[in-house]
A and B are shown apart, each in its own frame.
Chain A
């Protein structure tokens, strides 16, 4: 076999080594300067999130080391071993080496087993659920296309009240939680698969119809007053991207007051519609209103007797908007499928308006309200 040992100028090794070193320096600088922070999770806000974030840091450090080592080796080989015009004879025909094969099988095996063990250990903490639910705040999260409802239960698991609107800002649902107390969430869906996801909790769990998933977390005490953005993370249909919710962390006292108020509202008997106010009937079924046009007198309050005939996980409401279809004038709390409510609206000046389900703003759930 015609091979020749290679004699190469030392300058080549210096150049190749320099480039590899430069790569290492750049990676180090990116992280040292803080520019690498966007590769790290957002600030964890729960006990579980701290656990996951710490695990992430370990995995990231190992991953970065492997990346720099192997990528460096590739770049070194590519730069160092260019074929030169003088390379006529073949390089040494190395067919392999059993020792290095064993080494680069064993060492990675040890590394991944280590990662598996610390992940498993961490998983047991993240997935832990209290055996005694009376010490937790029990919340049922019910996901439906394209709305979240959060049911609050008492210590015995009895239904207290349901929060159907976001607590702050936009979205299609919201939950309030006390800091420092374990929260036990039960997930239910009656239509398709959704996923409960809050980025700052570093956690998501699928909401699977026909199956109840549970998880727990405790929000850090110093997060009281914070609002966390959450959203559905499993494709669930046309308005999947709009299925936001917010999680508002409160001090224990604030939460208790908030919940008491929610229960009070839920138990309050609805005041009867002002006598003489006209009552219009609207029904929703299969994500569609049964009427497309309504007519009321100008400058007089009116009532819509709204019935939701869809499955219980699907909520609807009837908002009055300007004729542009986007500017909201009057809104109502959404009601779950299988229920009925008298929505009371204030007097409107004469004109043409839209009535629309804010949760399903599709053509089938939009109609024209004429006020004259």
Chain B
């Protein structure tokens, strides 16, 4: 038998319209809501970024009424981008793709999945409501180091900081629930034949990401709770004049927040590890090496946190320097595996591949400029300057954001049944790629010249040109969102119909309809490698009785199976 028939006892059907979206426990719809919600927060965080860049375009204080509001703007920019955009956006892509990729009907705990999602907009509203309170939103940076984040007259006396704490605890809880859900789904819900070493790399990266989330998030929650107790219940965990220790917070905070960098990058690596093989018509080079490298990054990721604290004078420097250098090795292994996947392939330059190549070229810079900070003496020069701002944006924007746009262009046809327009996609890429480099490359020069981060104004006139260039680039990135949004709008209305498998994909999501029906599959192809759909397409499945292209079978089965085959994208 070439396919496994899956016949649920009752044929499921979606409810209509808005009610369905508000009450759904379908992982695909929840995944899409994650993506949309995260994208809205990307736009909000982007507006704050533009405000910051506009202020810095020329020396002097121009658009902000005072420096405190500027501090609020960059603090909320970073908090929104990290906790409400990058982490949930990738969790959303994982939410949509993981059950499909392992041949499961849904996540292990669908209601918990819905709960995880709905905590996010609530957390976002809590965070942003700080602007309505006296004293404004949190202004102590996304790191919120005490004593600056404590309730002291010149620090953070207002409720904005408390709302920041509450929002992060809520979002953290959402992450933990999501992480557990992914782990149980991946370990218990795989289709027959889907062994661990046949899982798509995207699933592997979500597995390692979930381990990081489940192990690390409770630790930052403890830091947040301690800070809350200090602020509101008379505690003194981080107040030195009452016996507390300021640097303790940094240790606890970074014990989460460094692994969180991998939470923000590994799933994007997973996305491009799916995209590169499909569009070069080759398997991923070194599949197992890639998995070991992913696991290696996850393990080493817990031993490098204090490289954010080299200048505190309270860190055992050689150990954290060594571990930070070593974590470059598995990352390098991945880079070479990706490049050798392209090597001698047959590359089709569809938008997902272009964004994936954008990831490769930019993430490479983010890795290389990170090595400078692993060298402790050099970090003494670079720490807390714009060099670090450049580095983190090359990793999180050049890496994660390019990776997630690769994923959005790649799975949009699976989510909605329609292809995004290729021409607009390329315009989007070019604007974003050029704008990104204009914005963030000059920050290397600013940092090495001595411009500290988080300053509302700068004294040195020789920094003005680079700053102006960065601001121009920032607006170019903003402009790149217009062709993307227009593309989504026209493609949903009029886009080319995708069919089940528009890219000649390798993994199981391409073996069902676009969008997939409730519970995803009526039958599955044989799973005998990490590329079951590729095997079926090319008649490579062992004992392949049918051997024919599954595209002919699946839609027919779906038509018979479902009265209401309205997919996630159809409700709009």
Query: Which A residues are within 8 Å of any B CB, using their own CB?
Result: 1-2, 6, 38-42, 51-52, 55-56, 59-60, 63, 66-67, 70-71, 73-74, 77-78, 81-84, 87, 90-97, 100-101, 104-105, 108-109, 112-113, 115-116, 119-120, 122-123, 126-127, 145, 170, 190-193, 195, 197, 199-200, 202-206, 208-211, 213-214, 229, 231-242, 244, 286-287, 314
Query: Which of chain A's residues have a CB closer than 8 A to the CB of B333?
Result: 101, 104-105, 108
Determine if B344 and A78 form an interchain contact, defined as CB atoms under 8 angstroms apart: no
Binds A, one of B96-104, B412-420, B441-449, B494-502: B441-449
Determine if A41 and B448 form an interchain contact, defined as CB atoms under 8 angstroms apart: yes
B215 on the A face (CB < 8 A): no
Binds A, one of B105-113, B198-206, B279-287, B517-525: B279-287
A-B contact count (CB 8 A): 273
Q: Pick the contact of A2 from B326, B364, B457, B538 — CB < 8 Å? A: B538
Determine if B346 and A190 form an interchain contact, defined as CB atoms under 8 angstroms apart: no
Determine if A119 and B376 form an interchain contact, defined as CB atoms under 8 angstroms apart: yes
CA distance A101 to B381 in the complex (A): 35
Name B367-422 residues within 8 Å CB distance of A.
Answer: 368-369, 371-372, 374-378, 380-381, 383-385
Query: Known contacts A52-B381, A197-B384: does B289 contact A96 (CB below 8 Å)?
Result: yes
Query: Which of chain B's residues have a CB closer than 8 A to the CB of A206?
Result: 311-313
Query: Which of chain A's residues have a CB closer than 8 A to the CB of B288?
Result: 96
Query: Which of chain A's residues have a CB closer than 8 A to the CB of B247?
Result: 208, 211
Query: Which of chain A's residues have a CB closer than 8 A to the CB of B337?
Result: 96, 101
Query: Known contacts A95-B283, A115-B374, A229-B460: does B454 contact A235 (CB below 8 Å)?
Result: yes
CA distance A77 to B335 in the complex (A): 13
Q: Pick the contact of A237 from B155, B314, B322, B332 — CB < 8 Å? A: B155
B145 on the A face (CB < 8 A): yes
Q: Which residue of A lies closest to B455 (CB)?
A: A241
Distance to closest chain A CB from B349 (angstroms): 7
CA distance A15 to B248 in the complex (A): 56
Query: Which of chain A's residues have a CB closer than 8 A to the CB of B332?
Result: 104, 108
28 contacts between A and B (CB under 8 A): A1-B538, A42-B450, A56-B372, A63-B372, A78-B342, A83-B346, A92-B282, A96-B285, A100-B340, A101-B289, A116-B321, A116-B322, A116-B325, A119-B376, A122-B377, A123-B317, A170-B459, A193-B246, A208-B246, A208-B314, A209-B240, A229-B460, A231-B459, A235-B145, A237-B71, A237-B154, A242-B457, A286-B153
Query: Which B residues are within 8 Å of any A CB, using their own CB?
Result: 66-68, 71, 139-141, 145, 147-148, 152-155, 240-241, 244-247, 280-283, 285-289, 311-314, 317-318, 321-322, 325-326, 328-329, 332-333, 335-337, 339-340, 342-349, 357, 360-361, 364-365, 368-369, 371-372, 374-378, 380-381, 383-385, 444-445, 448-450, 452, 454-460, 538, 540
Q: Which residue of A lies closest to B331 (CB)?
A: A108
CA distance A105 to B289 in the complex (A): 10
CA distance A40 to B450 in the complex (A): 11
Distance to closest chain A CB from B68 (angstroms): 4
Known: A63-B369, A193-B145. 8 other contacts (CB 8 A): A52-B381, A70-B335, A70-B336, A83-B346, A116-B375, A213-B313, A233-B385, A235-B141
CA distance A191 to B104 in the complex (A): 55
CA distance A145 to B332 in the complex (A): 43
Distance to closest chain A CB from B209 (angstroms): 22
Query: Which of chain B's residues have a CB closer than 8 A to the CB of A237?
Result: 71, 148, 154-155
Query: Which of chain A's residues have a CB closer than 8 A to the CB of B349?
Result: 82
Determine if A70 and B364 form an interchain contact, defined as CB atoms under 8 angstroms apart: yes
Query: Which of chain A's residues have a CB closer than 8 A to the CB of B335?
Result: 70
CA distance A237 to B456 in the complex (A): 11
Determine if A109 and B384 form an interchain contact, defined as CB atoms under 8 angstroms apart: no
Q: Pick the contact of B67 from A78, A91, A204, A241 — CB < 8 Å? A: A241
Query: Known contacts A70-B364, A235-B148: does B246 contact A209 (CB below 8 Å)?
Result: yes
Determine if B347 and A82 form an interchain contact, defined as CB atoms under 8 angstroms apart: yes
Q: Pick the contact of A74 from B281, B318, B360, B459 — CB < 8 Å? A: B360
Query: Which of chain B's residues have a CB closer than 8 A to the CB of A108?
Result: 328-329, 332-333
Determine if A204 and B380 form an interchain contact, defined as CB atoms under 8 angstroms apart: yes
Query: Which of chain A's residues have a CB closer than 8 A to the CB of B345?
Result: 77, 81, 91
Q: Which residue of A lies closest to B372 (CB)?
A: A59
Query: Which of chain A's residues have a CB closer than 8 A to the CB of B147?
Result: 191-193, 209
Q: Which residue of A lies closest to B454 (CB)?
A: A235
CA distance A203 to B346 in the complex (A): 49
Query: Which of chain A's residues have a CB closer than 8 A to the CB of B145?
Result: 192-193, 234-235
Query: Which of chain B's residues have a CB closer than 8 A to the CB of A119?
Result: 321, 374-378
Query: Which of chain B's residues have a CB closer than 8 A to the CB of A56?
Result: 372, 378, 381
Determine if A42 and B329 form an interchain contact, defined as CB atoms under 8 angstroms apart: no
Determine if B459 and A229 form an interchain contact, defined as CB atoms under 8 angstroms apart: yes
Query: Which of chain A's residues have a CB closer than 8 A to the CB of B326?
Result: 109, 112
Q: Which residue of A lies closest to B244 (CB)?
A: A210
Query: Which of chain B's residues have a CB closer than 8 A to the CB of A38?
Result: 445, 448-449
Q: Pick the contact of A126 from B71, B342, B377 — CB < 8 Å? A: B377
CA distance A238 to B154 in the complex (A): 8
